[in-house]
Amino acid sequence: MIKYHGFLLACLAALMLPMLAFAGPVNVNTANADAISTELKGVGLAKAEAIVAYRKAHGPFKSLTDLMLVKGIGARTLEINKDNIILASGKESSRKK
């Protein structure tokens, strides 16, 4: 019985791991640092705070490559997250690449 219970837990954990790996779309022009760091792969809280600070100082991002002006955000970070980055301003919700 104990082996069976352990097997079930292992199967459940294996099924749940992929759900943890999925990032969701986030509007980098309106989201707070917590949301950005949660939804973008490879972007921790410090980088997310830098994104928000840059946005406040320079205005909304107009293109994905504008994000590379933020220290710590490079081409690889953009490549792995490009499908989850939304650049809409205000109430718009369309994605721009």
**R_g of the chain, CA atoms, integer Å:** 17
Supply the pLDDT for residue 16.
52
Average pLDDT of 76-82?
A: 97
Domain 24-92, CATH class in plain words: mainly alpha
Query: Distance between CA atoms of 1 and 72, rounded to whole angstroms?
Result: 50
Question: What are 37-76's pLDDT values in tens digits?
Answer: 999 999 999 999 999 999 999 999 999 999 999 999 999 9
Residue 92 has pLDDT above 80, yes or no: no
> Which pTM was predicted?
0.70
Query: Distance between CA atoms of 32 and 40, rounded to whole angstroms?
Result: 12
Average pLDDT of 15-31?
A: 72
Average pLDDT of 82-94?
A: 75
